[in-house]
Amino acid sequence: MADITTCPPLTRESVRAAHERIKPYIHLTPVLTNRTLDDIASTPQSAEALRSTQFEGEEPASPKIRFFFKCENLQRVGAFKVRGAFHALTRLREVKGREGLKKGVITHSSGNHAQALSLAARTFRIPAHIVMPTISTPSKIAATRSYGAHIHFSGSTSSEREAAVATVLASDAQGATLVPPYDHPDIMLGQGTMALELEAQVHGLLVERRVHAELQGQTPVAAAEKEEDVGSGALDAVITPCGGGGMLSGVATALAGTGTKIFGAEPEFEGADDAKRGVERRERIESVKSLTIADGLRTPLGVHTWEVISDEEKVQGLYSVSEEQIKAAMRLVLERMKVVVEPSAVVGLAVCLFNEEFRKMVETEAGDEGWNVGVVLSGGNTTVDAISKLFGADASEKEKERQEGVMSMGGGKVAENIAG
């Protein structure tokens, strides 16, 4: 990877520069809204949903939330990871030149970064060696191979992956340049570019809404005039999934100083919420071994991502959710938004819908005005078979009850909204 000492500083301006570098290689992904999900998020959870939690018996939170979904599942390779991969390679070409990259690149990844780097390497016509855990989703392995990468298999933990990388570098990939999946400033800056787009897109949507509202009220007003009214605080908060932290740290860097609050979301299954626990202990957790269904979030924070994410001025909070809550959020996105996502992508939405600590915080801080919340749908690399296994006929009774509980939140109010 490019020498850390030669990297641009982790600033909003550096993210802007990264965006200019990668624009030719990425999609401007859409931002979607959904009134039904706004209504669900803005309706108190049922007493049943809070049973056996620390909030049992308490008055459920009643935040007002308006969602803006950044659809990185519609990005090239089906995930946000192309942003960091293309930024890393464009920076490497600047530093090393074309000759310096002749031996290619190498990385380790469970799937999305693997595909992203393989595509970037193919674009720049250099070899790519990818170390993937043997438990990686078959469709992600197949997609990575389709981009022409040389695949090498390893164990599932980060230490096992890194050991495999060292072995491959000493044999099949001598002279290749390591491109980490998340823990490098160039990767972080590349991932942060989605936040600049999201910020501008939400601003534009809100301007359009206000102009439309005034026109409906028979008071024509120019869009340019309304832009002044919207201001820079149109996006109150952004929540992203957090695995190794490249995306969350990049988004936090991009939006630093704008007034937008940044939050991270993790699965809690088998200790996958290492970032949350580490920040609480004020010490980075270096190893994670979890088989959460959110397979893209099974890695611990890196040294560089930890520095950003543990800074409370940059990331205002980290929250975790259960496997059942992730599945409930995924079902809502599939059925109500008609958008295909993988489990990792909906962890942020699950926090907004089900994490009572987060919901109470929003209720307190946002008050009656509520918040405009940007939610990153980070990827859509799943299959019909995988979705069938999650939601098939063999789903547990507990899962079915959970789904029914989601739909009946607020004494039927949400069910009425969905029916309408």
The residue ranges of every structural domain in the chain are 12-79+185-419, 80-178
| Confidence at residue 54, expressed as pLDDT on a 0 to 100 scale | 87
| Whole-number pLDDT of residue 415 | 40
* Cα→Cα distances 11→8, 17, 264, Å: 8, 10, 19
Task: Tell whether the torsion through CA atoms of 91, 85, 4 and 131 is positive or negative.
Answer: negative
pLDDT score, position 419: 31
Query: What pLDDT is attached to residue 48?
Result: 92
* Nearest-angstrom CA–CA distance, 246 and 188: 5
Tell me, yes or no, if 110 is annotated catalytic.
yes
Q: In sequence order, what are the residues at sequence separation of 6 or more whose Cβ sits closer than 8 angstroms to the Cβ of residue 136? A: 110, 111, 114, 295
Q: Which residues pair with 376 in a beta bridge?
A: 70
Name the amino acid, one letter, at 118. S
CATH of the domain spanning 80-178: 3.40.50.1100
Catalytic residue among 70, 81, 140, 314: 81
Q: How far is CA 156 from the centre of its chain?
A: 21
pLDDT of residue 398: 52
Question: What does each C-alpha distance from 202 to 32, 69, 70, 209, 400 come to in angstroms?
Answer: 9, 9, 9, 11, 35
Active-site residue, selected from the candidate residues 110, 156, 310, 320:
110
Using the 8-state DSSP alphabet, how is residue 45 labeled? P
Amino acid at 321: V
Residue 345 CA, distance from chain mean position = 6
The yes-or-no answer on residue 81 being catalytic is yes
Q: Give rounded-to-5 percent helix, strand, coil for the chain.
A: 55, 10, 35
Q: What is the pLDDT of residue 404?
A: 56
Of 337, 327, 326, the closest CA to residue 390 belongs to 327
User: Do 12-79+185-419 and 80-178 fold alike per CATH?
Assistant: yes
298: number of Cβ within 10 Å: 25
Topology at the third CATH level for domain 12-79+185-419: Rossmann fold (3.40.50)
pLDDT at 2: 64
Residue 209 is predicted with a pLDDT of 85
Partners of residue 371 on adjacent β-strands: 65
Neighbours of 312 (CB within 10 A): 9
Low-confidence ranges of the chain (pLDDT < 50): 218, 221-232, 394, 410-420
The pLDDT, as a whole number, for residue 172 is 87
Widest distance between CA atoms in the chain: 72
| Cα(54)–Cα(362) distance, integer angstroms | 18
Measuring CA to CA, how many Å separate 164 from each of 38, 115, 144, 171, 287? 45, 18, 17, 11, 16
Inter-CA distances, 165 with 109, 155, 171, Å: 11, 11, 10
Please state, in angstroms and as integers, the Cα–Cα distance from residue 383 to each residue in 137, 325, 380, following that order: 9, 20, 9
pTM of the predicted protein model: 0.89
